[in-house]
Amino acid sequence: MHLFYAPDLVKDDFLLPEEESRHCSKVLRLKEGDLLALVDGKGTLYSGHLSKIESKRCKVFITGEDKEFGRRPYSIHIAMAPTKNLDRTEWFVEKATEVGIQEISFIQCHRSERKQINPERLKKIAISAMKQSKKAYLPIINEITPFSAFLDTTRAEKTFIAHLEEHNQQSLREVFIKNDAYCVLIGPEGDFTPGEINLAYAKGIKPVTLGPSRLRTETAALVACHILHVLNEVLT
């Protein structure tokens, strides 16, 4: 069944957004009565059928509503330095959305070669991945923020910095608390600077290691996200 994204559904008037209406009527050539599903990106999965087709306004008759669809009792926030090669950051956004993530932030670090991102473009990638993986929650994707400003917004006791310097880091497993809200900081190619690491420590943020492999920025970001999923599933 086709799945559409409709973030601003108004009760009793279930219109698909313009772009989704066009996709529905022109590309997929669906007909009145065809079954479909909608997600609002805020946790609700609707099922229904097409009740009216216009090229820019397709209307849906809703027959089922599944709130908090696929909701997990924990949340994952990854704050990463964007990669020099933007493809790698886009890839992370796609894969993390498929695997499941609540929030993605971008931090501007001293050694970041890339200072800008396009959150709208990344949001489109996340929407596509959300639909592809049949999820009802769209991750929040934030604008890029200077590293120190980001630290002021995060709760230190739930935030971890994954850096590569030798500081006797614990593994994510050792600091893990089940069903919590986690934030993991992932540095740029070339890693966080000692100054950035000390700034994080001064805020009470603890260092973690993601395992023995030296990972690229975007791989580390996905691995951190996925470790937290597996630990929540496996550990009691």
**Contact footprint for its own copies (CB under 8 A):** 70, 91, 95, 98-100, 132-135, 171, 173, 211-216, 219, 222-223, 226-227, 229-231, 233-235
Pair 65, 48: CB distance under 8 Å: no
Nearer of residues 59 and 72 to its own copies, judged by Cβ: 72
Nearer of residues 15 and 191 to its own copies, judged by Cβ: 191
Min separation Cβ 124 and its own copies, Å:
17
Nearer of residues 42 and 71 to its own copies, judged by Cβ: 71
Min separation Cβ 84 and its own copies, Å:
14
Min separation Cβ 220 and its own copies, Å:
9
Min separation Cβ 31 and its own copies, Å:
23
Residue 134 CB contacts under 8 Å (≥ 6 apart), including other chains? 3
What's 236's DSSP letter? -
Min separation Cβ 3 and its own copies, Å:
10
Pair 167, 208: CB distance under 8 Å: no
Amino acid found at 198: N
Nearer of residues 44 and 171 to its own copies, judged by Cβ: 171
Pair 199, 151: CB distance under 8 Å: yes
Nearer of residues 62 and 215 to its own copies, judged by Cβ: 215
Residue 52 CB contacts under 8 Å (≥ 6 apart), including other chains? 32, 58, 59
Helices 86-99, 217-234: inter-axial angle, 10-degree rounding: 10
